[in-house]
Structure 1
Amino acid sequence: MLNAILGAALPSLISALAGAAQVTITDHPSSPALYGTIQANIANNIPLHLQSRIFVQSHEWGVLGSDAVSSQESRTQSPETQAASISAVENQGSYTRIIAADCLWMRDQHENLIRSLLWFLAPPSPPSPPSLPDGDGSNGAARGGVAWVVAGFHTGREIVASFFETAVAMGLLVEQIWERDVNATSEEGVVTREWMPVRPGEGPENRARWCVVAFLRKGLNS
């Protein structure tokens, strides 16, 4: 399981406590949380015998591939940057779950984030021939890894909608998508509604109580 960016790493900590075999926490290389808040939260909240499952790694969205490791520039990189480059190469296509929590508010980073999702997500398996049954008894392709994307609308619904449009254009499949009321009380339970790229008459105050939740996967040709 990989976290795309987290200041406090709460989803990562929960994943480790819930039994994830390996958890990788990432944040931008310039983030002070990488070696401050995140490390402290691991030490204070994760039992010692589980801490070996958790890795903290800097990652800049869209900075990927063997060229980052083998190029002349890599010889002048800091040890932290070199480690991030090597980690990206070694973990290509290896994550069955990626959590991207509130990462959609920077429109100019949408393509870079999607490149990282496509790079790290485990790929789907090709369909089995008709004469060979799949492990689940169907003839469909094994689904591969899934990205769990959650985002609020604090910078506007249009920016969030544009991310999903770009994701599909670049090769991701939107398996499920819906909206959830984050202000719903425990008595009300989980309140959801249909995802709408444009919601007529929606003002900033009403918009703020909702977030979008989506499951994204790689297409067979991604």
Structure 2
Amino acid sequence: MALTTRISLTGPEATDPEDYFADSLGVIFPDDVADQHGDSKHGLLYTSPHLPHPLSLALADVSGEADRTLFSHYLWNSSLLLTELIEAGTLRVDLPLDRGIAPDVGEFNVAGLKTLELGAGTALPSIMAGLLGAQRVVVTDYPAPAVLKTLRENVAATVQARFAPAGRFAVEEVLVEGHGWGELETPLARENRHAFDRVLAADCLWMPSQHENLRRSIAWFLGEDAAARAWVVAGFHTGRAKMSQFFEKEALAAVGLEVEHLWERDCDGKDRQWVWDRGVENVSSRKRWQVVGVVRRIPKPTGASGQRP
């Protein structure tokens, strides 16, 4: 099943000629796929066969240029993919991953874990985590009032037992807060250092200038337990060269992190090896693929006895 089939628009019918043209692109260009969904005039409905009711999501109504450049007023395919991985991993749904490239889907299980999402946008991955048994769910995005208002509304309206599969809802705390990447002197940061089993980041790599800050935030919030992981999923819509810099070995190592798994997955569920350079990639091709990164702390060396020195 294609990644985007679970999403539909809600709200008034489109009347703008540009909207009609956008809707027809899939017919004009059969290989083209939408990689962003919704706008401030239209909400989104996310329908999963594994949830008892569809999830209604609003999108931030941003007016100022500074807020618009955050691109939090769309749902991106990377969020859809991360949500699908969390659902499949936690419920043990059949979602084959190429085991020569990717980990077992069960590694995306969030039951009983504490999760934090960075740059959440609509918060769909966090919402899914909250419905499927995560113990604590913290949702963050840039502290812009319009963005945080929508996040709080989405989370409050959907992270409820009635939307969860029977027997799964077990969340003890759900929190929505502003967080600018790399800003580690705030109350949220001071109170939650190394507090999370899983750090989620969907489509947060399009600004190379913010990669260092994003890495710093992941390293700050990620737990020190050997099992702690960050899941970083991103599209190629701004080009591979820009987003790939985040995964550079030396840059991650500078904050004590390393890549455990890194691969690419398309909107139809096909996996392929990650490569740093695929030459010229046309826009339609780029929009079909996401990179999936599993990041962990660099393991501490052990002594000869097998004990940490």
Which of the residues 30, 41, 44 maps onto 2:157?
44
CA deviations 1:178-198 (Å, max 9, x no partner) are 00001x1xxxxx210000110
Gaps of 5+ in 1: 69-84, 125-142, 185-189
Aligned-pair CA distance for 1:42? 2.1
- State the 1:219 CA deviation: 1.5
Given that 2:236 and 2:243 are in contact with CA atoms closer than 8 Å, whether structure 1 keeps it comes out as yes
Alignment partner, residue 105 of structure 1 = 206
What does 1:33-72 correspond to in 2, within 5 Å? Answer: 33-35=147-149, 37-47=150-160, 53-64=173-184, 68=185
| Cα distance, 1:203 vs structure 2 | 2.1
Q: Structure 1 residue 212: deviation in Å?
A: 0.1
Per-residue Cα deviation, 1:14-54 (whole angstroms, up to 9, x for no partner): 0000100000000111251212x222212321226867521
**Contact 2:257–2:296 at 8 Å: present in 1 too?**
yes
Amino acid of the structure 2 residue aligned with 1:113: L
Residue number among 228, 247, 261 corresponding to 1:176 in the alignment: 261
Cα 1:120–1:108 change in 2 (3 A) is same
Which stretch of the first structure deviates more once superposed, 153-162 or 47-56?
47-56
CA distance in 2, matches of 1:92, 1:43: 25
The one-letter amino acid of 1:120's match is F
Q: What is the SS of the residue equivalent to 1:19?
A: coil
Give SS of 1:175's match.
Answer: strand
Task: Provide closer, same or farther for how the CA distance between residues 219 and 192 of structure 1 changes in structure 2, counting only shifts above 3 A.
Answer: same
What's the TM-score once normalised by structure 2's chain length?
0.54
SS of 1:62's partner is coil
Provide the rounded CA distance (Å) in 2 between the counterparts of 1:51 and 1:217.
24
DSSP-derived class of the 1:117 partner: helix
Are 1:30 and 2:144 matched, yes or no? yes
Identical aligned residues as a percent: 43
Identify which of 241, 247, 259 aligns with 1:158: 241
- The 8 Å contact of residues 257 and 298 in structure 2, kept in 1 or not, is answered as yes
What amino acid does structure 1 have at the position aligned with 2:245? S
Q: Are the counterparts in 1 of residues 136 and 171 from structure 2 also a CA contact under 8 Å?
A: no
Is contact 1:176–1:215 with CA below 8 Å preserved after alignment?
Answer: yes
Aligned equivalents of 1:39, 1:61: Cα separation in 2: 19
Distance 1:204 1:54, change over 3 A: same
| Pick aligned residue for 2:197 from 89, 96, 99 | 96
Match of 2:272 in 1: 193
Distance in 1 (CA, whole Å) between partners of 2:282 and 2:141 is 32
- Deviation of 1:200 after TM superposition, in Å, equals 2.4
List structure 1 runs of 4+ shifted beyond 4 angstroms. 48-52
Kept in 2, the 8 Å contact 1:5–1:27? The answer is yes
Q: Which among 205, 227, 232 is matched to residue 149 of structure 1?
A: 232
Contact 1:179 1:211 in 2 (8 A): yes
Question: Which residue of 2 is the match for residue 115 of structure 1?
Answer: 216
Aligned counterparts of 2:129 and 2:218: Cα–Cα separation in 1: 18
Q: What count of residue pairs does the alignment treat as equivalent?
A: 177
Structure 2: tracts of 5 or more residues without a match: 1-114, 162-168, 301-309
Q: Give the one of 114, 123, 133 matched to 1:19.
A: 133
Does structure 1 residue 219 correspond to structure 2 residue 298? yes
Query: Are the counterparts in 2 of residues 96 and 122 from structure 1 also a CA contact under 8 Å?
Result: yes
Taking the aligned partners of 1:51 and 1:172, their CA distance within structure 2 comes to 28
Aligned to 1:161, the other structure's residue is in SS state helix
Separation of aligned partners in 1, 2:121 and 2:241 = 25
| CA distance in 1: counterparts of 2:259 and 2:281, whole angstroms | 24
SS state at 2:259 partner? strand
Q: Which amino acid in the other structure matches residue 61 of structure 1?
A: W
Q: Which amino acid aligns with 1:146?
A: R
Contact conserved, 2:260 with 2:293, CA < 8 A, in 1?
A: yes
